Amino acid sequence: QVQLVESGGGLVKPGGSLRLSCAASGLTFSAYYMSWIRQAPGKGLEWVSYISSNGTTIYYADSVRGRFTISRDNARNSLYLQMNSLRAEDTAVYFCQIGLRNWGQGTLVSVSS
């Protein structure tokens, strides 16, 4: 079955950087668009970024545009999110998602001094 495993979360100071990864298995990774979606503690879901199957089409939420960069490596079945200039309001669990159905368990990013 499809498995998505996120990694790279942690505690970082405001203004710092983190790189999240999402390793996929159980599907033809290169055939699917992917997204990052986040959920602040006790809050709802917020879409962060989308990348097409070949990486040529990319979208970002206004809240992260210019600070976050999504990318993928189809040879490694992996999705990435480079997060720079992090702010306290970026604190959340970050999920990767393939299509609509498949979600990872999430990785927690905490931005605090």
Partner 1 sequence: DIVMTQSPDSLAVSLGERATINCKSSQSVFYSSNNQNYLAWYQQKPGQPPKLLIYWASTRDSGVPDRFSGSGSGTDFTLTISSLQADDVAVYYCQQYYSTYTFGQGTKLEIK
The contact mask relative to partner 1 for 26-45 (x = CB under 8 A, - = no) is ---------x-x------xx
Pairing status of strand 34-39 against strand 10-12: unpaired
- Number of residues engaging partner 1 in binding (CB under 8 A): 17
Q: Residue 46 has which token pair?
A: 């917020």
Site membership for partner 1, residue 21 (CB under 8 A): no
d(CA 81, CA 57): 15
Q: Which is nearer to partner 1, 16 or 91 (CB)?
A: 91
Site membership for partner 1, residue 46 (CB under 8 A): yes
Q: Which is nearer to partner 1, 21 or 47 (CB)?
A: 47
Q: Quick one: how far is CA 71 from the chain centroid?
A: 9
100 three-state secondary structure: coil
Cα distances (Å, whole numbers) of residue 43 to 89, 94, 97, 100: 12, 13, 18, 20
Site membership for partner 1, residue 9 (CB under 8 A): no
Site membership for partner 1, residue 13 (CB under 8 A): no
Site membership for partner 1, residue 104 (CB under 8 A): yes
Site membership for partner 1, residue 106 (CB under 8 A): yes
